[in-house]
Amino acid sequence: MQTRFEFFLQKPTVAATIIAVGLALHPASLHADERGERDRDGDRDRDDSRRDPVVFSFSTVGDSRQDPVTADATTLPLSGQDAHWLQNTKAWTRISRSIEHQQSSLLFFNGDMIMGYGHAVVPAATTTVSNVVSSDLVKFYTQYAFWRGMVAGMMEVGTCVVPVPGTHETQSKPLGKKAQVANENAWRANMGDLILDSSRFLNLLGAQPTNANVLNNGPVDGLTSDQSQLSYSFDFQGAHFAVINTDPVGKDAHAPVNWLASDLQAAKTRGLKHSFVFGHKPAFTYYFGATTNGFLPDKASGLDVDIVSRDAFWNVIEQYGATYFCGHEHIFNMMQPTAVTGGKSWQVLVGSGGSPFDASTTDATFAPASDRAYAWATVKIHRSGKVKITAYGFDDEFGPTQVLKTVTLH
**Roughly how many angstroms between the first and final C-alpha of the chain, as a whole number?**
25
Q: No. of H helices and E strands in the chain?
A: 12, 17
Residue 37 pLDDT exceeds 70: no
Is the pLDDT at 318 greater than 80? The verdict is: yes
Distance CA 333, CA 32 (A): 27
Nearest to 213 by CA among 196, 191, 225: 196
Average pLDDT over residues 341-354: 97
Q: Which residue has the higher pLDDT, 123 or 39?
A: 123
Which pLDDT band holds residue 44 (cuts at 50, 70, 90)?
Answer: low
Q: Is the pLDDT confidence value at 65 over 60?
A: yes
Q: Is the pLDDT of residue 43 over 90?
A: no
Give me the amino acid identity at 201: F
Give the pLDDT band of residue 109 (cuts 50, 70, 90): very high
At residue 124 the predicted structure's pLDDT band, cuts being 50, 70 and 90, is confident
> Sorting pLDDT into bands at 50, 70 and 90, what band is 21?
very low
Beta bridge partners of 162: 108
Amino acid 47: pLDDT: 55
Phi, psi of 85 (to 5 degrees): -90, -10
pLDDT confidence of residue 34: 46
- Given this model, what pLDDT does residue 51 score? 87
CB burial of 20-47 (b: ≥16 within 10 Å; e: otherwise) equals eebeebeeeebeebbebbbebbeebeee
Residue 79 confidence (pLDDT) above 50: yes
Decide if pLDDT at 350 tops 60.
yes
pLDDT at 19: 30
Q: Is the dihedral of CA 285, 64, 148, 200 positive or negative?
A: negative
User: Which residue from 319, 314, 348, 315 is spatially nearest to 333, judged by alpha carbons?
Assistant: 348
Q: Which CATH class is domain 4-409?
A: alpha beta
DSSP state of 155: G
* Dihedral (CA of 362, 366, 371, 372) sign: positive
Find the helix or strand (DSSP H, E) in which 16 lies: helix 14-17
Q: Is the peptide bond before 297 cis (omega within 30 degrees of 0)?
A: yes
Checking if the pLDDT of 29 tops 90, the result is no
Burial of 395 (0-12, 13-18, 19+ CB in 10 A): middle
**CA 217 – CA 206 distance, rounded (Å):** 29
> What pLDDT digit, counting tens, does each position of 132-148 carry?
999 999 999 999 999 99
pLDDT for the residue numbered 126 = 86
Q: Is the pLDDT of residue 17 over 90?
A: no
Between 23 and 213, name the one with better pLDDT.
213
- Looking at residue 144, what is its pLDDT? 98
Amino acid sitting at position 402:
Q
**pLDDT for residue 379 is more than 50:** yes
pLDDT band at 410, cuts 50/70/90? confident
pLDDT above 90: percentage of residues in the chain: 83
Going along 237-362, which residue ranges are E strands?
239-243, 274-278, 289-291, 294-296, 323-326, 332-335, 347-350
Residue 32 clears pLDDT 60, i.e. is over it? no
What dihedral do alpha carbons 291, 354, 325, 245 form, nearest 10°?
A: 100
Flag whether pLDDT at 20 surpasses 80: no
pLDDT, position 293: 87
Residues 264/322, Cβ–Cβ less than 8 Å: yes
Q: Is 168 exposed, middle or buried (CB count within 10 Å of its CB: 0-12, 13-18, 19+)?
A: buried
Whole-angstrom CA distances from 223 to 234, 247, 302, 311 are 21, 11, 19, 19
DSSP state of 357: P
Confidence of residue 40 (pLDDT cuts 50, 70, 90): low
**Is the pLDDT reported for residue 23 higher than 70?**
no
- Quickly state the pLDDT bin for 14 (edges 50, 70, 90): very low
Residue 12: per-residue pLDDT: 38
Q: Is the peptide bond before 264 cis (omega within 30 degrees of 0)?
A: no
| pLDDT-derived band at 189, boundaries 50, 70, 90 | very high
CB 280 within 8 A of CB 328: yes
**Per-residue pLDDT reduced to its tens digit, 217-260:** 999 999 999 999 999 999 999 999 999 999 999 999 999 999 99
30 band by pLDDT with thresholds 50, 70 and 90: very low
Q: Is the pLDDT of residue 80 over 80?
A: yes
Q: What is the pLDDT of residue 10?
A: 41
